[in-house]
Structure 1
Amino acid sequence: MAKLLKSLSKLTQRRPLKRTNSLENLYVKEEEGPKVTRKRSYSFDISSILMNDESNIGQRSSDFVEKILDLKNKIRQGIQRKKSEKNRSRVSGDFLQYICKTFCTEKPEKSSTSRFIVDNLKSAILNTIENKDDIAHIWVGRQDKTSHDIDTVVIVTRSSKSYNLGDKIWGLKILVRCIDTCSDEAANLLIYDTNDSIGSLSGKLTESDIKSLFHRHSNITLINTSNVCSIGYKSKTNAKIEWIPSIVIYCHIKGVIPIGEEAFPKSIGGHRVDVREAVCNFAVKPVQLSEKIGTEGSTRFGTLGGFVTLQNPERQLFLTCAHVLFPINQLKNEKLNEDIKEKEINVVDKDGHQLGKVHKAVFKHGHERDVSIDAALVEIIDQYRYARNGKFAVISPEEISKTGFSEYNMPRFDNGEMEQVTQSNFRQQALKVGAKSGLTIGSLKIGNSCARILYYDIQVGNYFSTTFYKQMEVIPQLDYSQTSESREPFLDNGDSGSFVYLIAHPEPVVLKCIGLAFAKTSHGTCLMTPIDKVFEALGLPFNCLSKFAKEDTQRGNISDILSKLEDISNKMATKEDFKKMNGEISSMKQKFSSTEASVKVLLEKSGIEITHL
Structure 2
Amino acid sequence: MARKENGRAEYNKPDDGYLSPTNLPSYSKLHTENRWDEYNKPNDATSDGYLSAKNLPSYSELYTENRGPEQYLDETCLWAYDNFAKYFVHKNVLPSNRELHTACRHLGRRSATFSNICRMICKQVVGTAEDIADVWASYRMEDCHLDGTISIVFVVMTTTDTPRNIHLKDYKYHLVSQNTFSNESEIVRARELSDETHAISTKHNTLEELRKCIAHHADDLLERHSNINVIVPSLKKSKGYYSDNHSIIDEPCIALYVPLKGCIPIHEDPFPQELDGYKVDVLEGKFETYEGGPNEFHEHLKMGLAIHAKILDSNKHLLGGTLGGFVNHPVYKMCGITCAHVLCSSEEMNFIKYCGIKDGLDKPVFQPVNDESAPFGRVVMAVYKSGDESSSGMEAALFRIEERHPEDGSFPIAFNDIQAGFDENRPLTYNSGVVCEASSISPRTEVFKYGMTTGITRGSFALQGAVVRKERNEGNRHSFGYSLKDQLVVLQIGMEPFAEPGHSGALVLIEGDHHDSVAIGIVEGGIKGRVFVTPICDILRAFGCSDLEMYKFNNSNNGSLSTDSGVDVDDSEAMDVNN
Shift of 1:161: 4.7
1:390 pairs with one of 395, 404, 409: 409
Shift of 1:464: 4.2
Instruction: Identify the range of structure 1 (173-182 vs 369-378) with the bigger mean alpha-carbon deviation.
Output: 173-182
Shift of 1:355: 2.0
Structure 2 residue aligned with 1:324: 342
Q: Is the 8 A contact 1:103 1:114 kept in 2?
A: no
Structure 1 residue aligned with 2:30: 43
Per-residue Cα deviation, 1:544-593 (whole angstroms, up to 9, x for no partner): 522223399xxxxxxxxxxxxxxxxxxxxxxxxxxxxxxxxxxxxxxxxx
Q: Is the 8 A contact 2:163 2:176 kept in 1?
A: no
1:344 pairs with one of 353, 362, 367: 362
Alpha-carbon distance in 2 for matches of 1:76, 1:340: 50
Change (3 A) 1:123 1:76: closer
Alpha-carbon distance in 2 for matches of 1:324, 1:406: 31
Paired residues for 1:523-602 under 5 Å: 524-543=529-548, 545-550=550-555
1:517 pairs with one of 500, 516, 523: 523
Structure 2 residue aligned with 1:354: 375
Structure-2-length-normalised TM-score: 0.72
Structure 2 residue aligned with 1:138: 135
Q: Is the 8 A contact 1:450 1:467 kept in 2?
A: yes
Paired residues for 1:216-365 under 5 Å: 216-235=224-243, 237-285=244-292, 288=294, 291-296=305-310, 298=312, 299-310=318-329, 315-334=333-352, 344-350=362-368, 351=370, 352-365=373-386
Shift of 1:210: 2.9
2:483 pairs with one of 450, 461, 467: 467
Alpha-carbon distance in 1 for matches of 2:119, 2:248: 41
Alpha-carbon distance in 2 for matches of 1:420, 1:339: 22
CA RMSD after TM alignment? 4.1
Shift of 1:528: 0.8
Structure-1-length-normalised TM-score: 0.68
Change (3 A) 1:76 1:509: closer
SS of residue in 2 equivalent to 1:445:
strand
In the alignment, structure 1 residue 434 sits paired with structure 2 residue 455: no
Alpha-carbon distance in 1 for matches of 2:277, 2:62: 41
Q: Which amino acid aligns with 1:545?
A: M
Shift of 1:379: 0.9
Alpha-carbon distance in 2 for matches of 1:339, 1:421: 22
Q: Which amino acid aligns with 2:421?
A: G
Shift of 1:413: 0.9
Alpha-carbon distance in 1 for matches of 2:189, 2:511: 21
Structure 1 residue aligned with 2:217: 209
Structure 2 residue aligned with 1:492: 500
SS of residue in 1 equivalent to 2:400:
strand
Alpha-carbon distance in 2 for matches of 1:446, 1:38: 64
Q: Is the 8 A contact 1:336 1:362 kept in 2?
A: no
Structure 1 residue aligned with 2:156: 155
Q: Is the 8 A contact 1:97 1:170 kept in 2?
A: no
Alpha-carbon distance in 1 for matches of 2:182, 2:480: 24
Q: Is the 8 A contact 1:432 1:439 kept in 2?
A: yes
Paired residues for 1:357-436 under 5 Å: 357-365=378-386, 370-382=391-403, 385-393=404-412, 395-396=414-415, 399-423=416-440, 425-436=442-453
Q: Is the 8 A contact 2:444 2:462 kept in 1?
A: no
Q: Is the 8 A contact 2:239 2:248 kept in 1?
A: yes
Q: Is the 8 A contact 1:366 1:466 kept in 2?
A: no
Q: Is the 8 A contact 1:105 1:150 kept in 2?
A: no
SS of residue in 2 equivalent to 1:446:
strand
Per-residue Cα deviation, 1:7-36 (whole angstroms, up to 9, x for no partner): xxxxxxxxxxxxxxxxxx999999xxxxxx
Shift of 1:427: 4.3
Structure 1 residue aligned with 2:181: 182
Alpha-carbon distance in 1 for matches of 2:260, 2:471: 14
Shift of 1:527: 0.6
Shift of 1:402: 2.1
Instruction: Identify the range of structure 1 (178-187 vs 271-280) with the bigger mean alpha-carbon deviation.
Output: 178-187
Q: Is the 8 A contact 2:62 2:76 kept in 1?
A: no
Shift of 1:513: 0.5
The number of residues matched between the two structures is 477
Alpha-carbon distance in 1 for matches of 2:279, 2:79: 48
SS of residue in 2 equivalent to 1:137:
strand
Alpha-carbon distance in 2 for matches of 1:289, 1:176: 37
Alpha-carbon distance in 2 for matches of 1:259, 1:468: 26
Mind listing any 5+ residue stretches in structure 1 that lack a counterpart? 1-24, 31-36, 78-89, 480-486, 553-613
Change (3 A) 1:217 1:394: farther
SS of residue in 1 equivalent to 2:456:
strand
Paired residues for 1:119-134 under 5 Å: 119-129=119-129, 131=130
Change (3 A) 1:355 1:115: farther
Structure 2 residue aligned with 1:164: 164
Q: Which amino acid aligns with 1:375?
A: A
Instruction: Identify the range of structure 1 (256-265 vs 215-224) with the bigger mean alpha-carbon deviation.
Output: 215-224
Per-residue Cα deviation, 1:379-410 (whole angstroms, up to 9, x for no partner): 1222xx000011112521xx212222223211
Q: Is the 8 A contact 2:431 2:552 kept in 1?
A: yes
Q: Is the 8 A contact 1:26 1:44 kept in 2?
A: no
Shift of 1:435: 3.2
Q: Is the 8 A contact 2:216 2:388 kept in 1?
A: no
SS of residue in 2 equivalent to 1:283:
coil
Shift of 1:193: 2.2
Per-residue Cα deviation, 1:474-519 (whole angstroms, up to 9, x for no partner): 1122x4xxxxxxx2221111100011111124xx522000111111
Per-residue Cα deviation, 1:84-105 (whole angstroms, up to 9, x for no partner): xxxxxx9873345335534674
Alpha-carbon distance in 2 for matches of 1:102, 1:519: 41
Structure 2 residue aligned with 1:93: 96
Q: Is the 8 A contact 1:137 1:461 kept in 2?
A: no
Q: Is the 8 A contact 2:273 2:279 kept in 1?
A: yes
Larger radius of gyration: 1
Q: Which amino acid aligns with 2:176?
A: R
Shift of 1:437: 2.9
Per-residue Cα deviation, 1:417-453 (whole angstroms, up to 9, x for no partner): 1111355655431111123333110111134211222
Alpha-carbon distance in 2 for matches of 1:360, 1:295: 14
Alpha-carbon distance in 2 for matches of 1:335, 1:267: 31
Alpha-carbon distance in 2 for matches of 1:220, 1:29: 39
Alpha-carbon distance in 2 for matches of 1:473, 1:493: 18
Change (3 A) 1:337 1:294: farther
Alpha-carbon distance in 2 for matches of 1:432, 1:76: 57
Shift of 1:334: 3.1
Per-residue Cα deviation, 1:233-272 (whole angstroms, up to 9, x for no partner): 123x221222222222221110000122111122223332
